[in-house]
Amino acid sequence: MEIICIFFKYSIDIAARLCHNIYCIENKHRETQNSFMVENNIRFSRADQLTQHLKERCRKLGIGEKFLSVRQIMDEFNVSQITVKQAMERLCESGVLEAQERRGYFVRHAPRYGKIACLIPAEISNLRWEFPGLLLRETSAAGFEQIIVDMPSNAAGIAMLPELKADAILFMPYGHEPITPDQLNRMMAQPVPVVILYGTVRVEGCRYVDNDNEFCGILAATHLLMNGHRKLAVLVSEPEVPLVRERIAGFLKCAEAYRLDIEVLNPHIRVGEHSPTKSGEFFRRYLEANPEPGFTGLFVLSELPAQEIARTAREYGLDIPEDFSLITLGRSSRESELDFTTINSRRDRVAHYAVRLVKEHFEQVKNAPTHYIITPEIHFGKTVKNINVPQLGKAGK
């Protein structure tokens, strides 16, 4: 009875949340981990904080208006001259202010180019393949052109920001590279709005759009459980960056509610390694040691490795979903031999709400949110079998 009650609780939660493809979170800190790595215990210096305050003050002034003097800022904010000069140098460097000799500082808003620039990790091929097309649909509808910039690293991308001739910047960080407070400050200090994609940064005023990664794992586990599976496993098919750990945590959290033991299959893939190949090699070794897997439902954290797992299973005479069910993260539109049951992270909505944040900035929408969290959805493919239902022809035997 207790298990049924817990299951009912999760079913109601999922039903309620799936009624909303997106929900907005208020500007407050949450006690979960960042989806990409911001250095632990991030704290901004006084110069960082002052930069943000002065930037907001500049937004309220017109182009060419004279700004506060160093002495006025020192008196108003009770900070040292060194702190003020550090903040003013950053604002001048990023184009918010212009220093004129013997005259002081003047507001210099960035010109309107009619363009949105999107910086994408050059090494993440699936995003590079799909996201620009999704973003183009949104930027065109909003009246902007788009610029796609491949970046070799987070640091290199941040260094490019002052040179980009665009009205807004979308920044998609590498998940395995930490963002330092100074780098985050440089993004936020740009004269144009910067929106971080696939990264949750709980800093006041920072714009971002991210997935609910933990709910991805909860949704995968619950779907398997609702189809009768009680022997579950998760295959860690990607390097254990924060967003991957969040997805695993969601899967395990749901299993804990049922007091189920989960088999964690971890190839310990490192950044830079080819995850489908490493996952396939690991699963071969697993099947050699376990010809009959100890699970009936398997969650693979990414779609290309899931395809390799399916091929490896066939090599060893196992059929999906007859011998075990498989659910993964991905998009049903990707061509594959199997119609995978997938948790769809809705990249189209990430693109939509990123552009929406930009529009709300220029339209000066009052009380507009600074960030959005995207709720995933299930694509009901053919790789999960309902073992609750008796098969036709077997009833009565």
The pLDDT assigned to 125 comes to 65
Position 21, amino acid: N
Cβ pair 310, 338 in contact under 8 A? yes
The pLDDT assigned to 124 comes to 66
Q: What is the residue-level pLDDT of the chain in tens, covering all 397 positions?
A: 444 444 444 454 444 343 333 333 333 333 334 445 444 445 667 887 888 788 878 877 877 889 999 999 999 999 999 999 988 988 887 677 888 888 999 987 655 688 999 999 887 666 778 899 999 999 999 999 999 999 999 999 999 998 898 989 999 998 777 788 888 888 887 778 899 998 877 777 789 999 899 999 999 999 999 999 999 999 999 998 888 999 999 999 998 888 888 999 999 999 888 899 999 999 999 999 999 999 999 999 998 899 999 999 999 999 999 999 999 998 644 455 678 999 988 899 999 999 999 988 877 777 889 899 999 999 999 999 999 865 444 444 3
The pLDDT assigned to 19 comes to 36
The pLDDT assigned to 389 comes to 62
Alpha helices in 107-232 (DSSP H): 125-141, 154-160, 181-188, 213-226
Cβ pair 119, 198 in contact under 8 A? no
For 73-77, which contacts have Cβ atoms below 8 Å and span 24 or more sequence positions? 77/50, 77/53
Distance CA 28, CA 14 (A): 24
Exposed/middle/buried for 74, CB within 10 Å: 0-12, 13-18, 19+?
A: middle
Phi, psi for residue 357 in degrees, rounded to 5: -60, -40
Distance CA 123, CA 306 (A): 20
**Domains located in the chain, CATH noted:** 2-27+213-346 (3.40.50.2300), 46-107 (1.10.10.10), 115-212+349-371 (3.40.50.2300)
The pLDDT assigned to 2 comes to 41
ω into 121 cis (within 30 of 0): no
Distance CA 388, CA 271 (A): 39
The pLDDT assigned to 390 comes to 59
Cβ pair 263, 229 in contact under 8 A? no
Determine the angle formed by the axes of helices 81-93 and 70-77, rounding to 10 degrees: 120
How many angstroms from the chain centroid is the CA of residue 367? 24
148: β partners: 118
Q: How far is CA 173 from CA 107, 156, 181, 340, 361, in A?
A: 30, 11, 14, 28, 22
The pLDDT assigned to 272 comes to 80
The pLDDT assigned to 110 comes to 54
The pLDDT assigned to 306 comes to 94
Sheet of strand 115-121: strand arrangement: 22-23, 371-374, 207-211, 194-197, 168-171, 115-121, 145-151
Question: Which residues are CB-contacts of 160 (< 8 A; sequence separation ≥ 6)?
Answer: 119, 149, 151
If we measure between CA atoms, which residue out of 213, 189, 192 comes closest to residue 30?
213
Cβ pair 167, 144 in contact under 8 A? yes
The pLDDT assigned to 220 comes to 95
